[in-house]
Structure formats: structure tokens, C-alpha cells
Structure 1
């Protein structure tokens, strides 16, 4: 059984989906009747719309209901130009996809700029506006009575027959899912999943949150527009009833039930909804209730949908196969000694920076300097402003006053993703690791903004894309070896122990060859061996020329590593100097360690 499984896994990942596509193409020649052919067509149209939602919801983490409006835009565009005499189906597909893209951009830009649930709300209102818009232009659209008189589509001047139309729908579905699959398994798909995990994390890697969300939303509009064009040419009639809130909920239910974080989950969910629920006699009357039940059922019982269940089974079979072959999961690579490349650090200067939240003064006139080839430590009790200072350097908070500069470049007031692209990299107090990524994929995400390959280059697997992908993999392996995780390349990143997740974050922050690295409580949760690996790495980074800033509670580790220490207390710099000076500073001992020296020099702990 496991031997058979290994043979199946040796096949290219696109082989089985391609086989399914070929079977669908051959169904009419195998005697499938018109009724079943129509159901397959409707299933594929629904799957196209669902796949667009999956890009937004499952990968980019944005709930958007507006795909029905994009579906309507594609359908009415095709219908209107068809009535006007433009019957070439490939022209209609291009124009319909463009119309859907425009609707997506018009609704997506304001919704995404406002943030939060704004995109969900703006896209929801798009659905409510469809009947009113159709009524306003009823002379052209037919209003609530629907659009009739659509001419038969042609392909290179010849009318499209029923069988040709079926083949056309299947071919377009195959091409779109191949397109989506290539995007999802590329570095762009990884960036989408980083964005879904945390916009803060995405921006720290140099990813523009707004542009990435808008890219996902715009891409998701394309299959909805294509589905609309094909729907308009199915019966040569378009009814507003095809674009209601109930239909939108059906799309959402298919996404959740099939698996929103899955390319082919859209096909599974669409198949269940089309062949199951829509066959019910009273579906139209109780559509919302039935669909709502499916949402609850899929959301509660199937975390990740049916595709998620399948992925768990695949992982279990992979683990058993690896175990039988004498390998532990994720041990596909051996640890190797990796050299730290020469790094061009930058001088980080913070001058008289202040920050208040309401009436609370978090930082007051804080100044510090971190130099290349040196480790600068920031210590202080909880609430002293250490992480706030790092967040201001990273661009998450704006300064109330003061200047933050990298060499001669002032970065205060810059968006966080631009600060990251300037060369500032960081880790977080709580490790921020995206789900559903392997260790090596999570680390590769750190190079997204340093090497650029467009989405189209990813889709067509151009030489530039392949070169960058090889470099991503090579660099990820190198930095994972640096932090001692070279033997866990293929392990699930979010399932690693806490200490290893912290080391993974360090690797991710190093892969982009930063000028400054900010380490926030990076030693917390590490055991002695991991601490030794971390300490050795920090010292090697210093020798390589990097500017290292570390916020840490482990005072002994700070004394061991730091060239200069800044001590914060109540938002101000209480003291700074070499480790030997700070260790003997009475005020530091009292404020930070709770040690008070009496008049004869004796130290009293906890006084």
C-alpha cells in the first residue's frame, strides 16, 4: 500500500488534475446526455467563481462577496456586445474578464484602503446594487425581465455547437486552474499566505499589504468574469435572478465546504452544491437556509473543508511512507556548516524620539546609535518602551517627534514595508509563522521583496522565475543551516517547538541580506543548546558586518554578546555604555534586576 502511495506521490502534482480534465473532455463522446452535460457546465462555472473567492479568502485572508457582481459584469458585457454583433467568443471572454477586473478594482480600492471588514461590506453592497443598476439601464439590460436576443457565439467566424461549447467551458476551466495553481505554488502564493497570517508580518518582509490584497482581489475577479461570459452564452438569456445574495451565499458555502485554502477545493465544493443541493425540489424556496446549514456544517466539522481533510490524510501517508523508508519527517537534508556572507550593515541612528498613546508617554526623548559590526542591546523592565522603540524603527508607529535614520536615509514616517526594503529586518516577541507552509517555504518568504518575478512570469515559469526560485531555495537552505534547522526543511513550520520557531524567524529575517536586524526577545523559550547556536550566530553576524539590535531579558546573554547596552526605564534612556559599565551601574541593578547596594557596598537582592 505504501509502495503504491510512493509511486503516486512521485507523479507531478498537476498529473491527476490534468487527467480529470481529460475525462471531462471525453464525457460527451462517452454518451453523456444533455441534462448531465448542462450540470457539468454549471458546476465548472460555479467552480470558477469559487476559485476567485478562494484566492481572496483562503490565501489572502480577505472575505469578499463581490464576485457575484463581477460574474454579472462578465455576463452582461458578453450579452450586450453579443447583441451588438460581436459574437466571437474569445473577444467576449477578454472583454468580459476586463469588465469584471474593472468592477473588482473599483470596489476593491476603497474597501482595502479602509481596512478591516470594509472590503466585505463594500463587496456585499455591490450585490444589493445589481438589480438597481440593471433597472437604471433597463433599455439596454432588460431590467428585471432579463436580457434577451443574445446572438449565438462564434469561434473564428463559425457558430459554436453544443459539443464545442461544452469543450470550450472545460478547456477554459483547465487553463484557469492551471493558472491559479502556478500562482499559488509560487513565491506569490507564499506571500498571500504570509499576508493571511498577519499584515504586520507581511510588511516586515517588505510586502506592500494594500497592493498584495488588491492583487488577490483583482486576480479573483478574472474567473468570475470568464464564468459570466460563458453563462451568458449558455441559454442566450441573462436573468437578474442569477446574481442574487442567495447565489453569493452558495459561492461562499462551496468555498468553505470544499476548502478555501485549496486550488481544487473549488471544484469539490461546486460539485457538491451543484449536484447535491440544487437538485432539491425546494432549493429555491429554502436556498438561504440550506446554504447556511452547509456553511455551519462545513465550518464546524471540516476545518479546511474537504480539501483540508484530504491534505491531512496525505500528510499522514507521507509520514508513514517516510517512516517505513527509515527517515523521520522533515529530515530530507542534513545539517551542514554554512558560512555567513559578508554583510553591509548600516548605521542606525535614533535621535530624541518620543511617542505617546493618548495620555500615556511610551517614549520620551530617546536617543541611541547602533553601528555596523556591533551588537547593540536594549534592556529594561516590562513596560519600559523597548518593543515600542523597535516598532517605531520598523515603521509600525509614527514618531511624535525625533529622527530615525539608516546612514543618511531618514526612515521615520515611512510605511513599514518600505522600511523593510531599506534593509531593516526583524523578529517578533511571539513567533509569527504562517500556517500550511513548510519550514523552507516560510524562510523563502523573506526574499519576496529582494528579488522580483511577476505573476505572469510565475504562471509561465519563465527562465527568470526559475532562476529566482532556485536562488530562493539555495539561500533558504543556507540560512536554515546557520540556525541549526537544516534537517527540518520540509517540516510544517507552524508545528515546530517554540525554540525552533524562534530560530526559524531569525533565518527568515536573514535571508534578505538586511543591513540592520532587530531581535525582539529572540532567546525566550530556547534551551541551552539552542542558546549556544543563537549566541554563536549573533557573534558571526557581528563579525560579518551586520548591525545587530537585540531586545532581551536574559541579562547574562546580553552581557555575553553586546558591545553597547542601552537601558530603558519609564520610556527614557536611563543609562548606556559597555557591558562592564552597565553591570556595575547601581541604578541599573535596582531598576532592572531589583538589586540594591547598601552604604557599605553589599548587594541586597529584592530590596
Structure 2
């Protein structure tokens, strides 16, 4: 059984949904009853809308219910066109998708600009405004009475019969889910999952948080618009009640219950909600209660919905099968080689930063050159991480300048600083969930060798070329930090030391010009420290600019070419390792060692 399971797992994951989709296409020709056909059609329409919500909620981490308004935009666009005699379905699909996209952009841009819960509130009010907006244009939309007189759809001038229209709905659903699947398994999908975990991490990797969230929200408008067009042509009548708040709750419940962070979870959730609510037609007054129950079960009793349960179950079966069956050896690790690196001259000049009345930094200057390790040390609260955050673009300076090879980077957004060549690790390892070690490292190349969304969807040659390069560079980075054997493990399940090394690999994979290491040695054992020390030395020799914030004083003395000591937000001392080690002020302020004992002191400080 274990061997059979592994053979089944070797089959590409998209094959099974495709088989189910093809089976659905032949239902009308296999004698299925009208009631079943009708429920499948409504399920597919609901799944299209839910999939758009999943892009925003499950992958980009942004709660928004605007898909219902986009659904309405697509439906009324098609309805108005049909009532006016424009019955070609493909024209209606294009127009409906465009109308939904416009609604998505109009609501998404201000909602995302304002941040926090603004998009959720904006999209919520969109739903409440639908009846009023339709009433304002009663002559065109029919107002609260609904839009009737829609002519049957045509294709190539020929009337579309009921069976063909069913096939069109299923085929459009299959094509959309193929598009969504291609997006999610590409670097764009990985970027969205990183963004959901931590916008700070995403920015440090060169991902524009606003643009990525808006792209996910706008892309999610397209299936909602297509569903609206198909819905308008299904019954040739539409009314505001079809786009009510209760329907929005049904969409949200289907997303949560099926699994919002899943491509095909939308189909699962839509199936359960559509068929389940159909069985409850005699209890319509309890519709919101039933929907709330699905939300409760999906969101509380099992995190990740049905798709999350299935994903965990499959991973357990994988582990059990591999333990019982002799699996072919992994491909050998990539060569741990470091070629010549193009480091940049980082200059921080008279930088100051205050938070309210607290002066974190005052007139701090640091000069970090290519081919050298520049260390920044100091006690707690001395401003080391604040300085790194300003270099990375997360904080704006109150005064001073930060340049990279003479080009001003101070004042630029953090993702632009990352794209300029500044890469970093964090005090607390920031590792996205449900990514393998290899995928987490590959994510660091998002800003390198850009690949368009269209290329990813259509799987154009550039997509495959960059994908192979991403994989090769990630394998090499893992080999550099000694994590090749863990490539297929979940990244966030690694021990602390390995997670820190993983962050180093992720920072290196994009071939940065400046590498900022923030307390990267904390939590490492002796073997891991040796790996790290050797790697930093090799990066320096290769020409990279390395800025090391560290509290292992002996490691700093061993690796650094230049050391800056911060105390109370100012540079207290600056010099070579020998000069800093003999400086009595450093010994007393940083290590707590009396000047008379400095010569005999050994060990590291503790921040």
C-alpha cells in the first residue's frame, strides 16, 4: 500500500481535478436529472466567486467581501447587454469581467491605501449599497424589481441550448481554476503567501505589499465577473436579492469551510454550501444561522478548512509511506560555491531617529565597504536594529543620509531598497507557514529575473527558464548553509538554529550587494556557528558587503574588519577588532568588565 501511495503521489496534482472536471462535463449526456444539473451549475458559479475571495483572504491575507459587488457588476453588465440585443456570450464575458475589474480597482485602491481593516469595510459597504445603486438607474437596471427581458445567449450567432450552456459553465470553471493554480504555484503565489505571513518580510524581499495585494484582489474580480455573466444568462432575470448580505456570508462561509488557502478548496466549500443549503430550503429563515455554523466549523474546529485537513492527512501519509518504502536517494546537493560578488559601498552619514521623545539614534555614521565585514555592537537599547531598519527602508530618518554606491536610498520604500541590493535577516526568524525549506529560499529571488503574471499563467518559456534558475540558486544557497538534506521539510518546523541559517540562505539567493545580519548567531550550536563563520568569511572574500549586528563578542572579533560600538544611540567607539578589544570604554559599557580586568576577559556579551 505504501508503494502504491507513493506512485499515486508521483502523478501531477492537477490531473485529479481535471478528471473530475471532465466527468462533470458529460453529466447531461449521461442522463443526469435537471435538478442535479442545476445544482452543479450554481455550485460552479459559487466556486468561481469563492476562488476570487480565496486569492485575497487565503493567500494575500486581506479580508474583503467585494466579490459579491463584482459578481453583481458582471451580472448586470451581461443583463443590460442581453436586454439591448447584444447576445454573443463571449462579448458579454469580456465586458462583465472588465466591469468587475473596474469595481475591484475602485474599491481596492483606496481600501488598501488606507490599510488595516479599510478594505474589509469598503467591500462590506459596497454590498449594502448595491440595491441603492441599482435603484438610482432604475430605467436601465429595473431597480429593486429586477431586470427582465434578457434575451437568450448566442455563440457565433447560434442559440445556446441548455446542455451546451451547462458545458460552457463547467469549461469556464476548469479554465479559471487552471489559471488560478498556475498563479499559486508560481513565484507570484509564493510571494502572496509570504505577504500573508509578514508584510515586513515581503518588503525585505523586494515585494511591493500594496501592489501584490491589489493584484490579488483585482485578479479575484475576474472569476466573480464571469460568474455574474453566466448567472444572468442562466435564468434570464436578475434582481438585487441575488447579491444580498446573506449571499456574501455564504461566499465567506464556503471559503473558510473549504479552505481559503487552497486552490480547489473553493470548489469543496461551494459544493458543501450549495448542496447543504439546498437541502435546507424549508428553513430559509435560518439561513444566516446555518451559514454561521459552517463558518464556525471551518474557522474554529479545523484550521484551514477541509482542504487544510486533507493537506495534513496527505503529509502524514507521505511520511508513513516513505518510512516503509525505500525511496530513491535525493538528488545530490548543489555545489557550495561562491563566485565573485558585486558588493556596494554603504554609507550612513549623521543619521538621527527619534520615537516621540525617545532619541533612538543621534548623529550615527557607519561606513561599510565591499569585501569587508562591518560589525555593529552595543548593549540593549543602543539602536542597532533601529539602524538596520533605517538602512532597509522600514524607518525614515529624522536627519542624515544613507547611500549605496553614492545613490541615495534613504526615503525609499523598503521593497525598493531590497531591489537596490540590500538583503537582511531578522532578530526573530520570519519563516512563512506551509512552505518547504526549498520554496522558502526560492521566495528570496522574487525581485530577481522578473517574470510577468501572464508568463506564469500561460507557462511561457521565460517562466520555465526562471523557474529552473530559481531552483538551482536555492539549492546552491541551501548547500552553503548546510541545509540541503532538509529541502523538502516544512520551513517553519525547523529548529531555531536551522531557521536562522535558512534566513541566511534566503537572503543570499537573490545575490545581494549588501547583506545585513541581525543577531544571526543567536541560538546556533557550535557546528552551526562554524558553518556560519566560514560562510561569512567566504562572502567577504567574494566581495560582498556584510554588516553584522551580533552579541557573540568573540565571533565579532574573529570575523570583523571594522567595528562600530553603539551606546545610548551614539557611536561610542570605532576601530579594528584589536583596537575595540583593548578599548576600556567598550569593556566597561558593553561587556561590564572593569578596565583592570579587560586584558584577562574572555567571552561574549549578552544583549
TM-score interval (norm. to shorter): over 0.9
1:598 and 1:312 map into 2 onto residues whose CA distance is 60
Tell me the SS of whatever aligns to 2:402.
strand
Please identify, of 65-74 and 593-602, the stretch whose mean Cα deviation from structure 2 is larger: 593-602
Query: 1 CA distance for matches of 2:598 and 2:354?
Result: 41
For the aligned residue pairs, the C-alpha RMSD in angstroms reads 1.6
User: Which residue of the other structure, out of 429, 432, 437, is the alignment partner of 1:431?
Assistant: 429
The 2-side partners of 1:79 and 1:496 are apart by 54
Q: Structure 2 CA distance, aligned partners of 1:598 and 1:430?
A: 36
Secondary structure, in 3 states, of the residue corresponding to 2:58?
helix
Task: Point out 4+ residue stretches in structure 1 off by more than 6 angstroms.
Answer: 599-606
- Superposition pairs for residues 348-497 of structure 1, below 5 Å? 348-497=346-495
Counterpart of 1:412 in 2: which secondary structure?
coil
Q: What is the aligned partner in structure 2 of residue 27 from structure 1? A: 27
CA distance in 1: counterparts of 2:232 and 2:365, whole angstroms: 65
Q: Which residue of 2 aligns with 1:118?
A: 118
In the alignment, what sits opposite 1:308? 308
Counterpart position of 2:249: 249
Count how many residue pairs are aligned between Structure 1 and Structure 2: 604
Aligned twin of 2:7? 7
Match of 2:515 among 509, 513, 517: 517
Query: Following the alignment from structure 1 to structure 2, what is the Cα–Cα distance between the partners of residues 101 and 604?
Result: 64
Residues 182-261 of structure 1: matches in 2 within 5 Å?
Answer: 182-261=182-261
Q: In 1, distance between residues paired with 2:449 and 2:386?
A: 30
- CA offset at residue 602 of structure 1? 8.2
Contact 1:277 1:283 in 2 (8 A): no
- Cα drift, residue 287 of structure 1: 1.6
1:590 to 588, 591, 597: 588
* Aligned equivalents of 2:600, 2:215: Cα separation in 1: 64
Task: Tell me the alpha carbon deviations over residues 220-279 of structure 1, each in whole angstroms, 9 at most, x when there is no partner.
Answer: 000000000000001000011110111001000000000000000000000000001232
Q: In structure 2, which of residues 336, 339, 361 is the aligned counterpart of residue 338 of structure 1?
A: 336
Separation in structure 2 between the aligned mates of residue 599 and residue 265 of structure 1, nearest angstrom: 65
* Residues 1:133 and 2:133 aligned together: yes
Contact map agreement 1:333 1:488 (CA 8 A) in 2:
no
Q: Report what 2:556 is aligned to.
A: 558
Describe the superposition over 1:304-341 as per-residue Cα deviations: whole angstroms up to 9, x where unpaired: 1000111111111111222223459xx83444541112
What is the DSSP-based 3-state SS (H/G/I as helix, E as strand, rest coil) of the residue aligned with 1:481?
A: helix
Cα separation, 1, equivalents of 2:278 and 2:497: 50
CA distance in 2, matches of 1:424, 1:395: 10
1:8, distance to aligned residue in structure 2 (A) = 1.1
Distance 1:80 1:11 in 2: 45
How far residue 281 of structure 1 moved from its aligned partner, in angstroms, is 3.0
* Maintained 8 Å contact 1:394/1:424: yes
The question of 1:501 aligning with 2:482 is answered no
**Alignment partner of 1:289 is 2:289:** yes
Specify the SS of the correspondent of 1:362: strand
Equivalent position of 1:536 in the other structure? 534
CA distance in structure 2 between the partners assigned to 1:271 and 1:356 by the alignment: 55
Give the TM-score normalised by the residue count of structure 2.
0.98
C-alpha spacing 1:36/1:348, structure 2 compared with 1 (3 Å) = same
Separation in 2, partners of 1:372, 1:41: 62
Out of 277-286 and 343-352, give the one that drifted further: 277-286
Residue 43 of structure 2 corresponds to residue 37 of structure 1: no
Q: Give the secondary structure class of the aligned counterpart of 1:363.
A: strand
Give CA-to-partner distance per residue, 1:183-213, whole Å, 9 cap, x none. Answer: 1011111011011111111110111111111
Q: Give the superposition deviation at 1:525.
A: 0.8
Contact 2:3 2:325 in 1 (8 A): no
> What residue number does 2:75 align with?
75
For the residues of structure 1 that align with 2:327 and 2:444, how far apart are their CA atoms? 28
The 3 A distance-change label for structure 1 pair 603 and 416 is closer
Contact 2:25 2:167 survives alignment (8 Å): yes
Q: Distance in 2 between matches of 1:63 and 1:170?
A: 27
Secondary structure of the corresponding residue to residue 286 of structure 1: helix
TM-score normalized with structure 1 length = 0.98
Q: Secondary structure in 1 aligned to 2:284? A: coil
Does the residue aligned with 2:347 lie in a helix, a strand or coil?
strand
Preserved CA contact (<8 Å) 1:350 1:369: yes
